[in-house]
Structure 1
Amino acid sequence: MAYIDFIGSLHNATKRDYISRVISDDKAECAAIAKQYDYDYWDGERKFGYGGYHYDGRWKSVAEKMVEYYGLKSGQRILDVGCGMAHLLYEFSQVVPGIEVKGIDISDYALKHAKEEIRDSLQYGKAQEIPFEDNFFDLVISLTTLHNLKVFDLKRAVQEIERVSKGNSYIMVESFRNDREEVNMLYWQLTCASYYSVDEWEWLYKEWGYTGDYSFIFFE
């Protein structure tokens, strides 16, 4: 199990007004709408989520880094748990022609509006009940998804990722290293159910038998 950051620079490129998030609207109401993971979360106003989730090529560099790090080749299989509109999976398919990509998500809206070129490779599925057999994928990834699960489902999801992977996996979640980042995270997040510091996440991974790689995004 190793810490490696593929996402931090992409995350930090967005500027966030944490205070405005909690005083400009009814945060609880916005969170309730966001957790439906429907139009408002993806393509509605920013207060409900992404504020418009459109393909712009930003995930290509992430795919390239992962391909190099994991030595991915044509004919191998990748699963994205919580794939959303699958922009990263699309980039994998472009960076490594012939690689097999699969994605699962609980958002029907995201699946219906996913990148058209790989839409047929996506399906509805829960992280805690991954619908594939043991040791099926050469790489399993999950980005900004597992922190949305309560601890009992979170444990199952981490163990499911371990189960369907041949050995390589990568989980990235929101976390914090100090009080300021914890407060900013609570101000900004809309869908989180698991709020853990870095050392707590690392302890949970070891406790649940996770052997893959991991990283975090922070709200500095």
Structure 2
Amino acid sequence: MAYREFVSLIHKSTKRDYLARVTERDKAEVAELAIKFGYDYWDGSRQTGYGGYRYDGRWRKVADAMAAAYGLKPGMRVLDVGAGKGFLMHDLMEAVPGLEVQGIDISAYAIEHAMETVKDRIVQGTAAKLPWPDQHFDLVVSITTLHNLYLADLWAALGEMERVARGGKYLCVEGYRNESEKVNLMYWQLTCRAFHTPEEWEFLFKKTGYSGDHEFIFFE
């Protein structure tokens, strides 16, 4: 298991007004909308989610870094757990032509509005039960998804990533290292169910048998 910095390449490019998330509108109300992972979350206002999740090419940096780190080659299989609209999948296919990329996401809305290049490669489902056989993928990745699960499903999802991978594994989750980052995370998040320090995340990895790489993003 190694600490990888892929999402860190783009995470700090987004400006965040933490206080606005809790003062402009009732936080519980907007969280209830966001957790449906429908229009409000993906393409509604910034208060309820992304404020319009559109492809802008930023994930290509992440795709290139992953391709280099894991030695991705044409014909290899990659799974994106929590694929959303498929931006990373698209960029991985462009970074490594001939790569066999698949994705899974809980959001029917995201899949319906996914990029045309990958829409037919994304299935609707949960990270806690992946519909693929053991050791099917050369690389399994999950970015800012698993912290949205309650503990039982989170535990299962970590085991599922381990099960379907025959090669590399990488995940990125939100975390906090101090009280300031904890408060910022609680202010900013809309769908998070698992609030853990890096040490707590690493404890979960060990207990569930997850042996892949990981990365944490913090709200400084």
Task: Decide: shared fold, TM above 0.5.
Answer: yes
Match of 2:38 in 1: 38
| Distance in 1 separating the partners of 2:81 and 2:69 | 19
Could you say what secondary structure the match of 1:123 adopts? strand
Corresponding residue of 2:172 = 172
Q: Which residue of 2 aligns with 1:152?
A: 152
1:203 is matched with 203
Answering whether residue 81 of structure 2 is matched by residue 84 of structure 1, we say no
Q: Please state how far the C-alpha of 1:68 moved relative to its aligned partner.
A: 0.2
Unaligned stretches of 5+ residues in structure 1: none
Partner of 1:9: 9
Letter in 2 for 1:2: A
CA-CA distance at 1:20 after TM superposition: 1.2
1:48 is paired with a residue whose SS is coil
SS in structure 2 of the partner of residue 116 of structure 1: coil
Structure-1 separation of matches of 2:37 and 2:151 = 20
SS at match of 1:135: coil
Q: Which residue of 1 aligns with 2:215?
A: 215
SS in 2 for 1:203: helix
Structure 2-normalised TM-score? 0.99
Aligned to 2:139: 139
2: distance between equivalents of 1:127 and 1:79?
A: 11
SS at match of 2:2: coil
Q: What secondary structure sits across from 1:173 in the alignment?
A: strand
Q: Distance in 2 between matches of 1:21 and 1:56?
A: 24
Contact 2:9 2:62 in 1 (8 A): no
Could you tell me which residue of structure 2 aligns to residue 189 of structure 1? 189
Does residue 162 (structure 1) correspond to residue 162 (structure 2)? The answer is yes
Aligned to 1:114: 114
Count of aligned residue pairs for this structure pair: 220
Paired residue type of 2:167: G
Residues 9, 61 of structure 2: 8 Å contact kept: no
TM-superposed CA distance for 1:207, in Å, is 1.1
SS of residue paired to 1:162: helix
Q: Distance in 1 between matches of 2:208 and 2:122?
A: 27
- Give TM-score, length-normalised by structure 1: 0.99
Q: Which amino acid aligns with 1:218?
A: F
8 A contact 1:80–1:103 mirrored in 2: yes
- The Cα of 1:9 is off from its aligned counterpart by 3.0
Provide the rounded CA distance (Å) in 2 between the counterparts of 1:167 and 1:181. 33
Cα deviation for residue 91 of structure 1 reads 0.4
* Kept in 2: contact 1:106–1:124 (CA 8 A): yes
- Structure 1 residue aligned with 2:74: 74
Q: Secondary structure at the match of 1:138?
A: strand
User: What secondary structure sits across from 2:114 in the alignment?
Assistant: coil
Specify the alignment match of 2:93 in structure 1: 93
Cross-structure match for 2:53? 53
Structure 2, unmatched stretches of 5+, are none
Shift in Å at residue 167 of structure 1?
2.8
Residues 1:104 and 2:96 aligned together: no
Tell me, in whole angstroms, the C-alpha distance in 2 between the residues paired with 1:197 and 1:16: 21
Cα contact 1:167–1:212 (8 A) shared by 2: no
Q: Which 4+ residue blocks in structure 1 deviate beyond 3 angstroms? A: none
Give the superposition deviation at 1:145. Answer: 0.4
